[in-house]
Amino acid sequence: MSIVLTPGAVPLATLEAVYSGERAVTLDPACRPAVEAAAARIAAIAGGDRPVYGVNTGFGKLASVRIAADDTATLQRNLILSHCCGVGAPLAAPLVRLVMALKLVSLGRGASGVRPQLVALLEAMLARGVVPVMPEKGSVGASGDLAPLAHLAAVMIGAGEALVDGRRMPGGAALEKAGLAPVTLAAKEGLALINGTQVSTALALAGLFAAHRAARAALVTGALSTDAAMGSSAPFRAEIHTLRGHRGQIDAAAALRRLLAGSQIRESHREGDERVQDPYCIRCQPQVDGACLDVLRQAAVTLAVEANAVTDNPLVLSDGAVVSGGNFHAEPVALAADQIALAICEVGAIAQRRIALLVDPALSFGLPPFLARNPGLNSGLMIAEVTSAALMAENKQMAHPASVDSTPTSANQEDHVSMACHGARRLGPMADNLAAIVGIEALTAAQGIDLRAPLATSPELARAHAAIRAVVPALGDDRYLAPDLQAAAALVADGGLEAAVAPDILPALGADAAEAAR
C-alpha cells in the first residue's frame, strides 16, 4: 500500500515512514489541477516575449542573458548537467527517498510550474526503487541544495547514476531497467528540480528522528542510573517542575517518576539516606533533558513547515504572476539543525556524567570500582566510560553553529548563504555518537542494577533491563567489549530500548505538519 502525500499537510510521522521504509509514495490526486494550471502559465510565458527569470533567461549572475524559445530544452538540460558538482560519499538510499518525497510535496503545491509527467516520473522512481546517486557534499543551502539535487534531476533526464536493486549503473540504464523513460525538460522544470531545500531538510529530519529516539532512551537509562546509584526521586516531584513551567521539563520529570515507580532499590534508602542532594547529572535530569526536548520539539515544528513548503524559484502565484523570490534560502533549516545539534550534545553530556558517576566508587554509593565483579584483576567498564567521554567531546566539537558561517558564492549574486546542508549532515554522525553514549550508559546502569541484587528495580525499569540483557549479558570477568558497545548502541538507535517500557511514558515529539504549516 502506497503512502499518499497531501502537499501542505504532510505530518512528520508520514515522512518518518517514508524514511524508514520502501513503500511506494504518491501525491494526493487532488493537487493535479493546481500543478497543471501552473505548468500552463509557464508554457505561456516561455512562448512570449517578456523575459522571466529561469524561464527564458540564464541563471544566477547570468539572469540578464535572454534565451530563445527554441533553446528552452537545451537551457534546462545544460542547467542540470552543469550543476552536477557534488563530491563525497553518496547519501544513503533512505535519505534519497526522503529527498524525493519532499520534492514531490513541494512540486505538488502547484506553484513551481512543472508538468504532471515530471511528478509522475518521481512517483514511479520511488515505486520501482530507482535511487539516484547523490553525493553528500556541495550545497551551501542557497540557492537551494543545487549540486545534490542536480544529481537527482540528472537521472530523470537519463544522465547521472542511480541504484536499482542495489546495483549502481548509469541513470538512463536505471530508468530502462525499471521500465521508465527519461523526460525532456520543459521551461523552468530543471530550475524547479534543483532549487529547493529538500536535501538539507531530509538530512535535518533524519537527524531529528534519531536524536529524539536517543533522547527518549536517555530518560530510560537516566532512570536506571538513578536507581543503580541509589539516587533520590524527590527532585522529580511534579510540583517542582510545574512551578517552573517548561513543558519539556514537566514531561521529562513525569517520565522519570513513572519509570522509577515501585523500585525496591529506591524504597531501601528512602529513610536515613545521609545524602542531602545528588549530583546534577541525577538531580537535574528533567531540567537538562527537558530543555533539550523543548528544543527538539521547536525544531520539529520548523521542519514540519519546511517539509510542506514551496522552496524553488521563481514561483507561480495565485494571481498568475511569476515572481522571483528567495524561498530557496535554507536559513530556517540551518537554525533548526543547529538547535538539534545542541540538544544532541547536551543529552550526551549529562548521560556521560552519569556513566562517570557509576564507575567511580567515590560517587556511586557502594558500587565497586568500574562496576567490576573483581576489581583490580578486572577493569570492568573503565574504558567504556573513556569511550563515552571521547564521543561526548567529538559531539561538542561538531556542535558549533553552521548557520553563522555564511560565505558569498556565484560572483556575489548569492552573497549570504545558510550552510544548512552542512549543519544538517553532521547530525547523523552526532546522533550515532549519542546512541553509543546512551548505549554505554545502558550497560553501566544495567550492571549497577545487577550489583544491587537482591533488591529489584521498578517494574518498568526491569523491562528495560531485560531488553539490555537480551543483547548484552551481565559482565563478570573482563571480556572483549566492543561487540557489547555496538549492540547497546543499536538497541538505542533502533528504538528497542524505548520500546521496552510502556508506550505512553516517554515524551512524544509532538509536531504535526498540518497544524504547523497553518
Q: Cβ neighbours of residue 448 under 8 Å, at least 6 residues apart?
A: 224, 225, 227, 228, 229, 358, 364, 367, 371
- Shared domain check, 145 and 248: no
pLDDT over 70 (residue 61): no
Q: Is the pLDDT of residue 493 over 70?
A: yes
Residue 272 has pLDDT above 80, yes or no: no
CA distance 111 to 375: 67
3-state secondary structure of 414: strand
Residues 50 and 100 in one domain: yes
pLDDT at 82: 96
Please check whether residues 83 and 152 belong to one and the same domain.
yes
**Per-residue pLDDT tens digits for 172-219:** 999 999 999 999 999 999 999 999 999 999 999 999 999 999 999 999
Question: What confidence tier does 280 reach under pLDDT thresholds 50, 70, 90?
Answer: very high
The whole-number average pLDDT for the span 495-502 is 98
Same domain for 357 and 504? yes
pLDDT at 240 over 70: yes
Whole-number percent of the chain with pLDDT over 70: 97
Q: Express each pLDDT in 342-384 by its tens digit.
A: 999 999 999 999 999 999 999 998 999 999 999 999 999 999 9
The domain total for the chain is 2
Provide the domain limits for residue 137: 3-196
End-to-end alpha-carbon separation of the chain, Å? 28
Summarize pLDDT for 116-137 with one digit per residue, the tens: 999 999 999 999 999 999 999 9
**Confidence bin at 75 (pLDDT 50/70/90):** confident
Point out the domain boundary residue: 164, 196, 228: 196
Please check the confidence at residue 477 and state whether its pLDDT lies above 90.
yes
Q: Are residues 169 and 211 in the same domain?
A: no
- Whether residues 364 and 347 share a domain: the answer is yes
Whether the predicted model's global pTM rises above the 0.85 cut:
yes
Closest CA to 135 of 90, 183, 75: 90
Contact 219, 257 (CB under 8 A): no
For 15-80, strand residue ranges (E) read 25-27
* Res. 516 pLDDT band, cuts 50 70 90: very low
Specify if 354 maps to a domain.
yes
Q: Is 209 found in the same domain as 192? A: no
What pLDDT is recorded for position 205? 98
Could you tell me if residue 19 is inside a domain? yes
Structural domain contains residue 315: no
**Confidence at residue 412, expressed as pLDDT on a 0 to 100 scale:** 78
Contacts of 127 (CB under 8 A, 6+ apart): 2, 24, 25, 26
Confidence band of 48 (pLDDT split at 50, 70, 90):
confident
Residues 164 and 207 in one domain: no
Whether 280 is a known active-site residue: answer no
Alpha helices in 157-246 (DSSP H): 171-177, 189-194, 198-228, 238-244
Q: For residue 316, is it within any domain?
A: no
Question: Are 305 and 183 part of one and the same domain?
Answer: no
Compute the chain's Rg from CA coordinates: 26
322: in domain: no
> Is residue 387 situated within a structural domain?
yes
From 513, 146, 151, select the one nearest 328 (Cα to Cα).
Answer: 146
Same domain for 257 and 171? Answer: no
Query: Are 279 and 174 in the same domain?
Result: no
Greater confidence (385 vs 405) lies with: 385
Contact (Cβ atoms closer than 8 angstroms) between residue 79 and residue 190: yes
Which of 143, 165, 196 is the last residue in one of the domains? Answer: 196
* For residues 268-294, average pLDDT: 88
Contact 145, 198 (CB under 8 A): yes
List the CATH number of the domain containing 97.
1.10.275.10
% of the chain exceeding 90 in pLDDT: 85
Q: What pLDDT, on the 0 to 100 scale, is given for residue 517?
A: 46
Cα–Cα distance, 188 to 205 (Å, whole number) = 28
Residue range 322-336: mean pLDDT, rounded: 95
Establish if 119 belongs to a structural domain.
yes
If asked whether residues 255 and 128 sit together in one domain, one would say no
Least confident of 101-115, 178-192, 275-289, 371-385: 275-289
pLDDT band at 513 (very low <50, low <70, confident <90, very high): very low
Q: Is residue 484 part of a domain?
A: yes
User: Strand ranges (DSSP E) for 379-479?
Assistant: none
- pLDDT value of position 68: 80
Residue at which a domain ends, from 172, 196, 220 = 196
Cell of 112: 513551481
Q: Is the pLDDT of residue 308 over 80?
A: yes
CB 97 within 8 A of CB 19: yes
Task: Give the whole-angstrom CA distance, residue 255 versus residue 316.
Answer: 48
CATH code at 354?
Answer: 1.20.200.10
- The yes-or-no verdict on residue 47 having pLDDT over 90 is no
